[in-house]
Amino acid sequence: MTKHKNIKIDKPGIDYVRILFLSVIALLFLGGCKQVLSYLHPTADFTYVKRVAIAPFINLTNDKFAGGKVRNVVATEVLRCGVFDVVEFGEVVKVLREEGMKDDGQISRHIAARAGKRLNIQAIFMGSVLEYGVTRVGGSSVPEVSISMKLVDTNSYTILWEATHNRKGTNVLNQLFGVRRWTPEDLCKKVVIEMLGTLFG
- How confident is the chain (201 residues) per 10-residue block, as mean pLDDT? 52 50 40 77 93 98 96 97 96 97 94 98 98 84 94 97 92 54 91 96 82
Q: What is the pLDDT at residue 177?
A: 55
- Indicate whether 39 belongs to any domain: no
User: Tell me, what DSSP letter sits at residue 83?
Assistant: S
- Indicate whether 14 belongs to any domain: no
How many domains is the chain built from? 1
pTM for this prediction:
0.80
Distance CA 63, CA 122 (A): 31
User: Which residues, including other chains, have CB under 8 Å from residue 166's CB and lie 6 or more apart?
Assistant: 34, 130, 131, 144, 145, 146, 147, 191
- Indicate whether 187 belongs to any domain: yes
Q: What is the pLDDT at residue 110?
A: 97
- Indicate whether 158 belongs to any domain: yes
Q: Which domain range does residue 116 map to?
A: 46-200
Distance CA 69, CA 124 (A): 18
- Indicate whether 15 belongs to any domain: no
- Indicate whether 84 belongs to any domain: yes
- Indicate whether 19 belongs to any domain: no
Q: What is the pLDDT at residue 97?
A: 97
- Torsion of the alpha carbons at 66, 154, 87 and 82, rounded to the nearest 10: 90
Q: What is the pLDDT at residue 139?
A: 75
| CATH code, 110 | 3.40.50.10610
Q: What is the pLDDT at residue 140?
A: 79
